[in-house]
């Protein structure tokens, strides 16, 4: 028997990510929309030089993640740019904002989902080291348009963030499935 120990290098480790069970609560702030969002997230007013009244952030402080939501009222809005209306412009902008990630994305999957209440949402899932891994928009085509994008405030690679991305994607689908447009007064 020998007393010598053989050195075996250990593989590089990753931070443990503890994900809490999904729990939801209704949005209490007064906006033209209402939905259920994670009890592990906070609602904050979106702050930027172009922010509008009903733009909010759903912030996950524990994961340094944010879902940025931008809302546009459609009623009575028309833009006469080569006969395109306002809704078409907003949808085109959603595709343009998603396609800006093509430089780093190795795949962009577009899916259309139907919510339990009959609404249709378009979802973009981006793969690769992109700043936004999940984007979406939902509209009733006459009065309301809501767009969202998931961002992480970290330099951690997306493959390491994969469990958190999947976790928040589940929360986003819950938001979309529970979304209701508020009645106009």
Give the pLDDT score at 144.
93
Q: Do 179 and 159 form a contact (C-beta atoms < 8 A)?
A: no
Q: What is the 3-state secondary structure (H, E, C) of 68-123?
A: EEEEEECCCCCCCECCECHHHHHHHHHHHHHHHHHHCEEEEEEEEEECCCCCEEEE
Give the pLDDT score at 82.
45
As a residue count, the chain comes to 185
pTM equals 0.84
Sign of CA dihedral 68, 91, 171, 179: positive
Backbone angles phi, psi at 176, to 5 degrees: -65, -40
Angle at 70 between CA 47 and CA 136, to 5 degrees: 130
Where do the domains of the chain lie?
39-138+153-178
Residue by residue, pLDDT tens for the chain (185 residues) are: 556 777 777 666 656 677 999 999 999 999 999 999 999 999 999 998 899 999 999 999 999 999 999 999 987 665 544 446 889 999 999 988 888 877 777 888 999 999 998 899 999 998 888 888 899 999 998 899 999 999 998 766 777 888 999 999 999 999 999 999 988 65
Q: Do 150 and 112 form a contact (C-beta atoms < 8 A)?
A: no
């Amino acid at each position: 028997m020998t007393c010598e120990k053989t050195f075996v290098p250990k593989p590089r480790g990753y931070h443990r990510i503890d994900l809490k069970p999904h729990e939801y609560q209704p949005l209490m702030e007064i906006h033209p929309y209402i939905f259920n969002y994670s009890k592990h997230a906070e609602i904050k007013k979106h702050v930027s030089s172009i922010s509008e009244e009903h733009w909010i952030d759903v912030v996950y402080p524990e994961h340094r993640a944010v879902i940025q939501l931008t809302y546009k009222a459609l009623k009575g809005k028309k833009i006469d740019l080569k006969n395109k209306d306002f809704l078409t412009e907003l949808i085109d902008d959603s595709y343009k904002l998603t396609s800006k990630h093509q430089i780093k994305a190795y795949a962009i999957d577009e899916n259309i989902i139907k919510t339990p209440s009959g609404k249709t949402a378009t979802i973009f899932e981006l793969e690769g080291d992109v700043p936004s891994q999940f984007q979406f928009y939902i509209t009733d085509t006459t009065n309301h348009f809501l767009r969202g994008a998931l961002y992480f405030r970290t330099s951690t690679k997306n493959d390491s963030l994969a469990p958190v991305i999947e976790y928040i994607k589940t929360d986003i689908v819950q938001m979309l499935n529970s979304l209701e447009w508020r009645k106009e007064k």
